[in-house]
A and B are shown apart, each in its own frame.
Chain A
Amino acid sequence: ETGVTQSPTHLIKTRGQQVTLRCSSQSGHNTVSWYQQALGQGPQFIFQYYREEENGRGNFPPRFSGLQFPNYSSELNVNALELDDSALYLCASSDRARGEQYFGPGTRLTVT
């Protein structure tokens, strides 16, 4: 059984740029959720995708957007990067019928 993978591991961007983060779900899972985790804080829910449709969104601006593909992999896109976007971005996959989510290792984004 393959776990959740994310790429890249680390990324450094300049304020105002755009970034795309990628996630491959655990096999058999049809739901992907994205979280932002600042240092010393718990993960903050960005949005969730189920069967390629957005299925819930947290308190994040529209410059945070996403996609889910037919193979259930997913992308998180962030436009017009701000310094406060620097964080660990976590992807989690789950089976729609069960609540527990399985997390990837995360992508560490630094905005300078």
Chain B
Amino acid sequence: EDQVTQSPEALRLQEGESSSLNCSYTVSGLRGLFWYRQDPGKGPEFLFTLYSAGEEKEKERLKATLTKKESFLHITAPKPEDSATYLCAVQDNDMRFGAGTRLTVKP
């Protein structure tokens, strides 16, 4: 069965403390892997699309990478405003989301 698993479930960082979030997946035919950011009570906000293994995308303090089995979202020198839930989604025939990683960055 197709699955998307994100780890850790929750992550607490000090401001400036870099880390990585993981998204592992099993799908029959990957058409794309997507990262979203979601603030409490709001809809997800699109961050990145990755299509093939080895691809990387960057935006400000965030960098997403993709292998054949997983994707990482690297956060460099995070700030308190980076606190949010980060969702990974995989598209084969449908879009399948992971449960998310809840990131808290303390000043």
Which A residues contact B (CB, under 8 angstroms)? 4, 33, 35, 40-45, 48, 56, 58, 88, 90, 92, 98-106, 108
Contact = CB atoms under 8 A, between A and B. Distances in A.
B96 interface: yes
Given A99-B32, A101-B46, A105-B42, A40 B99 contact: yes
A43 B44 contact: yes
Contacts, number: 58
Contacts of A102: 46
Contacts of B49: 98-100
A44 B83 CA distance: 23
A41 B42 CA distance: 14
B42 A99 contact: no
B93 A56 contact: yes
